[in-house]
Structure 1
Amino acid sequence: MGRRRNPGRNVTGILLLDKPLGLTSNDALQRVKRHYRAAKAGHTGSLDPLATGLLPCCLGDSTKFSAFLLDADKRYRVRVRLGVTTTTADAEGEVVETRPVEGVDEERLREVLTRFTGSIDQLPPMYSALKHQGQRLYKLARQGVEVERQPRRIDIHALELTAFELPEIELDVHCSKGTYVRTLAEDIGRALGCGGHVIALRRTGVGPYLESSGPFIALDEVAALAEQENFQALDALLLPLDTALGHCPALRLSEDSAFYLRQGQPVLVPQAPTEGLVRLYDPSARFIGVGFILEDGKVQPKRLI
């Protein structure tokens, strides 16, 4: 009879990982999982290998709530090289066309940026992880195959010009989930008449987690602590899983309400909001999950620990 595999540590929390350049999101996640010796781990939305920045890694019970971060707004800092179009809309692709940028000035650029602010339709790129008949688009693209894609409605909440140093510009982007920043950069270049592609991309925020609130955790730091087997220090880097839901109002439940909610039954909670999602806590202030408000005002459990 073979030896049973070690199921891993039952550790729960969210690591705000600063994904390094050149690593896929899944590779980064697997390294975190291995360093923590975690039984379960998942990330909350892929970053291209070319991109750096925030990749929230959910360990243990946090994986049950990763969808809330997948659906959350994202923030990026992107550097764009105008005048050069590539096959992938970033620096890893082959150059397709080169055009002069002398006619582009800051005033014209700012006017173009206003056209890409608000609700817009965006055509997903061929070099993306979307599937067509079971195959990833980027795999088809590498074979020279292009398939028809449908535009998607996205929201660009803010688009701020932070550097104008032709032929390069830098933008801060605050957008909804599903936004392809490479495509946004390419479309801005096209609107300017000179083309463009991404040469550097950093994710600076996911939902409530912002780089401006404090530095993200480097993979090297995690690796060094794991080598020392300092699990106490590793676990101290994790945020409580309810921090992913900081935008939702909190509800403290009575013993009876917590019991019935755990049975899947909706309950009436005094002073509950009239709509939306709520964070649920038991009488001892322990987080037990997420609920939503029904039309009759009762709280219905959505995801419980």
Structure 2
Amino acid sequence: MTDQESDIHSKTIFPEFNFAEGELLLINKPYKWTSFDVVGKIRNSLKPLKLKVGHAGTLDPLATGLLILCTGKLTKQIDTFQAQEKEYTGTMILGGTTPSFDLETEVDKQFPLDGLNDEMIFKATAAFIGDIQQYPPAHSAVKVNGERLYVKARRGEETELRLRFVTVPEFEITRIALPEVDFRIVCSKGTYIRSLVSDFGKALNNGAYLSALTRTRNGNFLLQNAFEVSDLVAHLRSERVEKTRLASLS
């Protein structure tokens, strides 16, 4: 994708959409929205058109940032967009753990921070760069026997998790203000940042959980070119109203 093509999806520009043929929409997913919430909102805004709308890569409800939506014939290419490299920025909290590895659940264990220093934290990133192995969080959308793990976890059921292999080309610490640690990470499809943060805490003989996460890039698509959901929905609805008005005059 060229810079010019990317700019077409700028949140300040509304191009001429052809949703039936297929549009790729860059969306800034709001906090606490599920990825399916965004899909549903856009699909409803396109009524009465009956179009396929899907997303290319789930973001957790507590995460924000770039979510790629495809419409119409372009939904056939969702797997291609989903397979692309991702980039995130986020914040982890050292000195504690939660069952979900993030803020969805309460802290269940606490650890002293006295023995930690900046050098130890910077050095610990080395073990998480390159090809690594990780288990998905028990509170995740991964399906086991047709049911998502978070459904089983909320019932208190334990499930044997399968180890997965992922690639992390870049992992850097950008700010340390204990217990908060900010980071930037570039990773392959299927990487669970929550799992990586939890493992990072273990590598420090401590605990860690994710407190904030934003997807800033998916392949060559950038968050800075994404639409805000409210802006795009307002535009689509105004377009629908205008077309209805013009049709009534013809």
- For normalisation by structure 1, the TM-score amounts to 0.70
The correspondence for 2:29, drawn from 1, 9, 19, is 19
Matched, 1:47 2:53: no
Question: 1:67/1:195 Cα in 2 relative to 1: closer, same or farther (>3 Å)?
Answer: same
Alpha-carbon distance in 2 for matches of 1:122, 1:194 = 18
- Counting only pairs closer than 5 Å after superposition, residues 161-176 of structure 1 correspond to structure 2 as 161-176=173-188
Q: CA deviation at 1:231?
A: 8.7
Alpha-carbon distance in 1 for matches of 2:38, 2:207 = 32
Alpha-carbon distance in 2 for matches of 1:105, 1:231 = 59
Alpha-carbon distance in 2 for matches of 1:223, 1:172 = 31
Alpha-carbon distance in 1 for matches of 2:241, 2:160 = 49
The correspondence for 1:227, drawn from 224, 231, 237, is 237
Question: 1:63/1:102 Cα in 2 relative to 1: closer, same or farther (>3 Å)?
Answer: same
- Relative contact order, higher structure (CA 8 A, sep 6+): 2
Aligned residues, how many? 223
Would you tell me which structure has more helix in proportion to its own residues? 2
Partner of 2:138 in structure 1? 126
8 Å contact from structure 1 (residues 225, 231) kept in 2? no
**What is the CA deviation profile of residues 210-259 of structure 1, one whole-angstrom value per residue up to 9, with x for unaligned ones?**
23xx3311001012213322699xxxxxxxxxxxxxxxxxxxxxxxxxxx
Partner amino acid, structure 2, of 1:228:
S
Matched, 1:76 2:88: yes
Matched, 1:183 2:201: no
Alpha-carbon distance in 2 for matches of 1:231, 1:83 = 53
- Counting only pairs closer than 5 Å after superposition, residues 127-142 of structure 1 correspond to structure 2 as 127-142=139-154
8 Å contact from structure 2 (residues 21, 74) kept in 1? no
Q: CA deviation at 1:11?
A: 5.0
Partner amino acid, structure 1, of 2:75:
T
Partner of 1:32 in structure 2? 42
Alpha-carbon distance in 2 for matches of 1:80, 1:200 = 7
Alpha-carbon distance in 1 for matches of 2:148, 2:138 = 9
Partner amino acid, structure 2, of 1:110:
F
8 Å contact from structure 1 (residues 35, 222) kept in 2? no
Alpha-carbon distance in 2 for matches of 1:136, 1:55 = 21
- Aligned-residue identity in percent: 37
Q: CA deviation at 1:102?
A: 2.3
Alpha-carbon distance in 2 for matches of 1:176, 1:120 = 11
Alpha-carbon distance in 2 for matches of 1:77, 1:169 = 11
8 Å contact from structure 1 (residues 36, 231) kept in 2? no
- For normalisation by structure 2, the TM-score amounts to 0.85
Q: CA deviation at 1:10?
A: 2.1
Partner of 1:87 in structure 2? 99
